[in-house]
Structure 1
Amino acid sequence: MSIDFSFPTALVLIDNQAAFSHPTHWGTQRSNPQYEANLQALLEAFRKAIKTTPATSSARLEVIHVFHSSLSETSPLHPAHPEQGIRPLDFAVPAPDGSEAVFWKHVNSSFIGTGLEAHLRERGIRQVVFAGLTTDHCVSTTVRMAANLGVVDRFTEPVQVRPDGTHNSREVVVDQGRVVLVADATATWAKDGIDAETIHAVSVASLRGEFADVLGTEEIVKALNY
């Protein structure tokens, strides 16, 4: 499976924050030791491609950051912990020139209580690439909602389900966009006696095909460099 950057694409980076460096809060066993290197490679490749892509090109690219601000004061992601908690990890800091949109959320989905959905629609994004933390929580929830909301699809009219369960699908024309999960640029932790790699793998498998196309960092970076 390959990736095509000939139409507007956004890289959405989720919850890459210092709180996830806490030595014990999330557990001691994390999946995917290459998460940091892969996410940094993705971000650098997108930024490089953005600089070399004409603003008028149909292959417009952009980077979007979504961060978590917990409502629980005991969470490392609560605003009371700005240095060790909610601040971006060093390799995922938004561009200092303000060219990369930033959204803040307080639940798992990056689409609830934020302007992310409106931003993607207003910008005409047809392909969204997701990476970040954690695979089974905020990344999974966001990917599922992206697919369900159809944020990269174009409908001639809304789908309507009638009281008898039938719908108007025959009258609706859908020009489908693409939701992509970069599986090796996400990570999660062990929980409830299940090891981290198993949770990561099952979470990815649950999204593959039904909600997103699953690709790897190397393939995406290679496509951007051409």
Structure 2
Amino acid sequence: MSLPALGTDTALIVLDVQKAIDDPRWNSKNNPGYADVIAKLLAAFRAAKLPIIHIRHEEANPASSFYVNGPGQPFKDEAQPIDGETVIAKQQNCAFVGTALEAHLREGRINRLIFTGVVIHNSMDITIRMAHCLGLENWLPLDATTAIDVTDANGKRFNAQTVFDLYAAVLASEYCRLTQSEDVLSALPSSESGAM
């Protein structure tokens, strides 16, 4: 889907792209190249001087790969923040719960979000739904996120692509618009003209 021209009312959200996601328990990803796509989007948003918000998950449970004092806590190399970019820490799956994210968006007059990160069936899903409830316009480039296999309480396993496709369909039914990273890049202002 084609995006409108993107300006300073648009922010790139980079959600939970931390070393934790490289733990073996996350190995069944359907879209293993998602982090390289995020790196391209980061470079383009930086060149256009548009807002970037990094969300870092700080999990209290030591068994989690995202444990706040564990080796998975740092951002992945492809998604390292640079000086001047906003970093918001969260302790819940939803990036709006117990954080300053909404206040930051309102203060910056940001009403359109481009969501990237992990995983579509967990923190991405609940954060996008909450953003919709707050009246924000949400876009999800499908090549900039991923899913993993999910096993239900009865032991039935759903492969990552099935999980991904289902969650993308549900999110697109009401909560966001689906797109691809190339469409996002095409909607950015050129580096010659700067941000709109």
- 108, 124, 141: which one aligns with 1:139: 124
Aligned to 1:40: 39
What secondary structure does 1:187 align onto? coil
**Retained in 2: the 8 A contact 1:7–1:127?**
no
Residue of 126, 129, 145 corresponding to 1:186: 145
Other-structure match for 2:100:
115
State the 4+ residue runs in structure 1 displaced beyond 6 angstroms.
Answer: none
Structure 1 position 74, deviation (Å): 1.1
Q: Normalization by structure 1: what TM-score?
A: 0.78
Normalization by structure 2: what TM-score?
0.89
Task: Report the 3-state secondary structure (helix = DSSP H, G, I; strand = E; otherwise coil) of the residue aligned with 2:14.
Answer: strand
1:200 and 2:164 equivalent? yes
TM superposition shift of 1:18: 0.0
Q: Structure 1 residue 34: deviation in Å?
A: 2.3
Tell me, yes or no, if the aligned pair for 2:35 and 2:79 is still in contact at 8 Å: no
1:183/1:215 contact within 8 Å kept: yes
2:57 is matched with which residue?
A: 68
Query: SS where residue 86 of structure 1 aligns?
Result: coil
| 1:11-51 Cα shifts (integer Å, max 9, x gaps) | 1110000011012x23x31111221221111111101111x
Bigger-Rg structure (1/2): 1
Q: How does 1:75-90 map to 2 (within 5 A)?
A: 75-81=64-70, 84-90=71-77
Gapped regions of structure 2 (runs ≥ 5) = 152-156, 191-196
Correspondence for 1:169? none
- Equivalent residue of 1:141, what SS? helix
Q: Residues 6, 44 of structure 1: CA spacing in aligned structure 2 closer, same or farther, 3 A cutoff? A: closer
Structure 1: which amino acid aligns with 2:140?
L
**Corresponding position of 1:212:** 176
Q: For residues 6 and 76 of structure 1, what CA distance do their matches in structure 2 show?
A: 36
* Matches of 1:149 and 1:126, distance apart in 2: 10
| Letter matched to residue 56 of structure 2 | F
Aligned equivalents of 1:36, 1:9: Cα separation in 2:
20
Which residue number in structure 2 is paired with residue 13 of structure 1? Answer: 14
Q: Secondary structure at the match of 1:64?
A: strand
Quick one: percent identity of the two aligned structures? 35
RMSD, aligned CA: 1.3
